[in-house]
Amino acid sequence: MSKYLIIVESPAKEKTIEKYLGKDFKVLATYGHIRDLISKDGAVDPAEGFSMSYQIIDRNKKHVDAIAKALKKADALYLATDPDREGEAISWHLYELLKERNALNGKPVYRVVFHEITKNAVREAIENPRELDFNLINAQQARRALDHLVGFNLSPLLWKKIRPKLSAGRVQSPALRLIVEREKEIDAFNPREYWTVAASLSKEQQDFTARLTEYNGEKIEQFSITGQQQAGAVEAALTAAADGRLSVLQVDRKQRKRNPAPPFTTSTLQQDASRKLGFGAQRTMRAAQKLYEGLDIGDGQVGLITYMRTDSVNLASEAIEGLRAVISEKYGKDQVPGQVRLYKTKSKNAQEAHEAIRPANPEVLPEHLAGKVEDDQLKLYRLIWQRTLACQMVHAVYDTLAVDLVAGNSASPVGRFRANGSVLVQPGFLAVYHEGRENSVDEQDRLLPPLAEGDVVKLLEIIRDQHFTEPKPRYSEASLVKELEEYGIGRPSTYASIISTLQRREYVEIDRRRFFPTDIGKIVSDFLTAHFEQYVDYDFTANMEDDLDAISRGEKQWVPLLESFWAPFKKRIAEKEESVSRADALKKRVLGTDPKSGREVSVRMGRYGPFAQIGTREEEDKPKFAGLRKEQSLDTIGLEDALELFKLPRDLGETPEGEPMSVSIGRFGPYVRYGGKFVSLKKDDDPYTIEHERALELVRDKKEYDANRLIQDFPDHGIQILNGRWGPYITDKTKNARVPKDRDPKALTLGECQALLAEAPARGARKKGAAKKTGEEKTPAKKKPKKKKKKKKKAAKRKAAKKKTATDQGDD
């Protein structure tokens, strides 16, 4: 029987830790968070000091029960959840639940933390327990309460003013604003023309290039040459002055040192994995979680990296010693710097007791893991191993060369040119790792021929190139994470969930690894910026994060922070609910006039997406409506394209049987109608361009499918036996009945079908999921009436204790 019970978050850690500690220890997992706020308004009660009502998460109740049962046989409880706010809160929640169940019975409870799952780290943690940190717990509670108050008050306002199922979040909404504002900058950007001039040169059969830096005694700036005619005149003057050669005026030789980057934090890992591996933030964190929790690489499970949610760039002294030993052995003693490299963490709240993300054991080389772990895990481990090793290696050294050349008299030249060269002479850390950079070209050797002052170099030609200025690029995942970090919006544990939420809510789309805001994303962001500017302001959000950090350090109290936030926020919600109309929020855009009817043509957002409209509701004739195509945008669509949308339904002639065919778009997508039946278009079919023959093909396939589907037909009685997705069934369009497994559906009589239908429940009367078993098929023609959901009263689920010290989960 185990004497001690240890609780972790993930079951992946159980066997690893038990192996390290021996038979006296039993390890069980909570499987993440075990309690959450009740999912309705009022879960946080400002009138009662922001008390919180929460309940056990259904899927994890069995794990709490297992922990309580195991605790009966144990002498002590060790809470070893993750070493951050969320982990502290999970430990607290479990402690409270066990206390409510009288499961502790006076047994000692210890809080232990470790930042890597290695034998030494786990054993050291067990030998040095502490108590629960209520500063961390209260900081997590305050964050969760803020997120709940924002979400449950602001999101319903979006539903009323824009459309259902939208959401706003304390961190999510400023992140969306960043993406939308960048898109507006791009839309408003006016490119400027400019020209560059360079000389193509050759010496000793080696070609190289020098750029023009001065012309007629004036320094060349970006917009010194702004037109083709001017560039041509400069080219002609330089060609004439040079007379086929340039003279070397000055040669400047230097050495340049380049130092390695610090080890990874959560955000820099996500950025580099995005740039180098093409990983999204969620994909990076999934792989990192597995590497931290432990993988079997031959001798049982072992943790391969330290904890992956951290702001710190600090490395433990023991870790540095291990890294220097591996560098010396693998790359040579000369690659180890004389002094240890120490890095200073920029984040105000980073705890130096926490470490950067590093290999738990640098002696485990990436090549040792090949074939033993998944591909993503190997790629990410290699990246972490290389960056960590590089941060403790010697700097790289470049020999650089800058050569000035002149066209014409060196005393008063017509033009002055600069050629730059560099050679990597000592790779240092670059032998292991190159830091990824956004929109950058890899740094390579640029070789120049031997040059000395007074040398004459052959001029091959003067080159002039036209350029246009470009706006800042749209955010990638890497650049968005970097921007969020620089603004202080969110924390390492939230970056991946922020990006995931924006995509899940369809506020953004990713194309070519760049974020594009959708129409609904723009409308939501504009609405919040116009009416709740303070709450989506970057500084406000960052200051709120700083306040939460101050609570975690014990420097501030959490209830006063919530009080200062809630009163003005509640007042603003009430004001905007009354003063802002739905029309104001949706911002109709008028495109012009329909030439046929003379009526106004406009576009706006509707409950089911963006649409165009001919006419207004105030006119006698009803307006016409048409949904925008997927590739069209409310901001950019023009009158001509909008009018094209009203050409549906299109007449496509007839089927060979004489059924009229037409194509249109319905609520469930584009379709062809033939007679009184419908067939959906395929993914590659376009309702605006589909031709008669393609429509016939779709209709023929549908008829063949229907023919194979029909087993028996009793037309006089409106009864059919059909092949459904889940097997044969009988239907009279009001009821569906299963065909008994021991009966051949082809042999059933009309009377037997009627008897089976009489015993079957009416459509919708079955419990959820029963319709699937009968093979009932969905039809686009009918909508089922909404049924009122019965509330199941389960005392265990309803029980909600109110506490004033902690809750859990992250920002949506």
Return the active site residues: 307
Write b or e for each residue in 516-549: b if 16 or more Cβ atoms lie within 10 A of its Cβ, otherwise e. Answer: bbbbbbbbbbebbbebbeebbebebbbebbebbb
Q: Which helix (H) or strand (E) holds 111?
A: strand 109-111
Interaxial angle between packed helices 172-188 and 519-531, expressed in degrees from 0 to 180 and rounded to the nearest 10: 110
DSSP 340-378: --------TT--TTS--B-BS-TTS-HHHHTTTS-HHHH
Distance CA 422, CA 440 (A): 17
3-state helix, strand, coil in the chain (%, to 5): 40, 25, 40
Distance CA 744, CA 730 (A): 12
CB-count burial class (<10 Å; 0-12, 13-18, 19+) for 138: buried
DSSP state of 167: -
3-state SS class at 606: strand
Amino acid at 659: E
Q: Do 251 and 403 meet the contact criterion of CB atoms below 8 Å apart?
A: yes
Neighbours of 410 (CB within 10 A): 13
Phi, psi angles (nearest 5°) of residue 674: -130, 120
How distant is the alpha carbon of residue 701 from its chain centre?
Answer: 40
Secondary structure of 482-510 in HEC code, one letter for each residue: HHHHHHCCCCCCCHHHHHHHHHHCCCEEE
Beta strands 76-79; 109-111: pairing state: parallel
Query: Hey, CA dihedral for 146, 148, 154, 155, is it positive or negative?
Result: positive
| Per-residue CA distances from 180 to 504, 630, 756 (Å) | 16, 19, 58
3-state SS class at 384: helix
Strand partners, 735: 762
DSSP state of 784: P
